[in-house]
Amino acid sequence: MAVPTERAILFIDGNNWYHGIKDAGIDDPARLDYCKIATKLVGSARSWIASRYYIGRVTAAWSQQLVADQRRFLASFEAADPRNTVYYGRLEPRAVRSEAAHELLAYLGSLKTKIDPTVYRDLFAIGNRHKNSYTQVEKAVDVMLAVDLVVMAQRNEFDTAYILSADGDYTHAAQFVRDSGKKVFAAAATSGAQLAKVVNAFIPVRKPWFDDCYK
């Protein structure tokens, strides 16, 4: 049987893809076999030549457990096939203001009705504890993926790209690559209306789609 000559690469937006499949009901994403996913998406008409996974690198300052979990998953991803590679962005801490906590503190500060001092003290402590929190914001990942998509198309390193994401931020890059004569598909478990407008086809991958894609 002849080997397909049309070369296909998967560009995986790790964060968007992960949260999408979790929302779709995939309870154990680490059990997914990304070689099976690539083979299923590409089909027999194209030759799968690479899967590129883009993700912000978790640091120990955030969570030792998350660091270990991410390393384990990404090591397994790369070990599964030499065509699988990982590209790291970064995670940056960002302060998040809790409007509910600030409203609680303001309410307690203006309270004219006497309440139990212990209750008051506990509520005040809760408000102070949660008025400002921190989260991690992923940086550079979507830009890296979009740049690689465009540059690799210009270098003629693929014929077809599969963007595993529903992020509309890839719209312009996808349109440019299509205008360059390449095919671009998007696949995600969540809707991506903006991206769907410019790709050759948007492939919805709901929970049943993954039934034959586990290790």
Distance (Å) of CA 56 to CA 4, 32, 102, 141, 211: 34, 20, 31, 7, 28
CA atoms of 122 and 113, how far apart (whole Å):
16
Tell me: do 65 and 119 sit in the same domain: no
Instruction: Please name the amino acid found at residue 197.
Output: K
- At which of 109, 133, 157 does a domain end? 133
pLDDT of residue 5: 86
Establish if 193 belongs to a structural domain. Answer: yes
Specify the number of domains making up the chain.
Answer: 2
CA atoms of 14 and 16, how far apart (whole Å):
6
Establish if 105 belongs to a structural domain. Answer: yes
Tell me: do 67 and 146 sit in the same domain: yes
CA atoms of 195 and 170, how far apart (whole Å):
7
Structural domain containing residue 151: 7-90+138-210
Establish if 2 belongs to a structural domain. Answer: no
CA atoms of 122 and 52, how far apart (whole Å):
49
Tell me: do 77 and 156 sit in the same domain: yes
pLDDT of residue 188: 96
For residue 192, the SS3 value is coil
Tell me: do 119 and 43 sit in the same domain: no
Q: Which two structure tokens, joined as six digits, stand for 67?
A: 């660091």
- At which of 133, 159, 188 does a domain end? 133
Tell me: do 103 and 182 sit in the same domain: no
Tell me: do 74 and 110 sit in the same domain: no
Establish if 123 belongs to a structural domain. Answer: yes
Establish if 1 belongs to a structural domain. Answer: no
Establish if 62 belongs to a structural domain. Answer: yes
Per-residue model confidence as pLDDT tens for the chain (215 residues): 566 789 999 999 999 999 999 998 998 888 999 999 999 999 998 999 999 999 998 877 667 888 899 999 999 999 999 999 999 987 666 666 777 766 766 767 788 888 887 876 877 677 677 766 666 665 689 999 999 999 999 999 999 999 999 999 999 999 999 999 999 999 999 888 999 999 999 999 999 999 999 99
pLDDT of residue 49: 98
Q: Look up the CATH number of the domain holding residue 83.
A: 3.40.50.1010
pLDDT of residue 55: 93
pLDDT of residue 116: 80
Establish if 147 belongs to a structural domain. Answer: yes
Tell me: do 143 and 196 sit in the same domain: yes
Tell me: do 202 and 165 sit in the same domain: yes
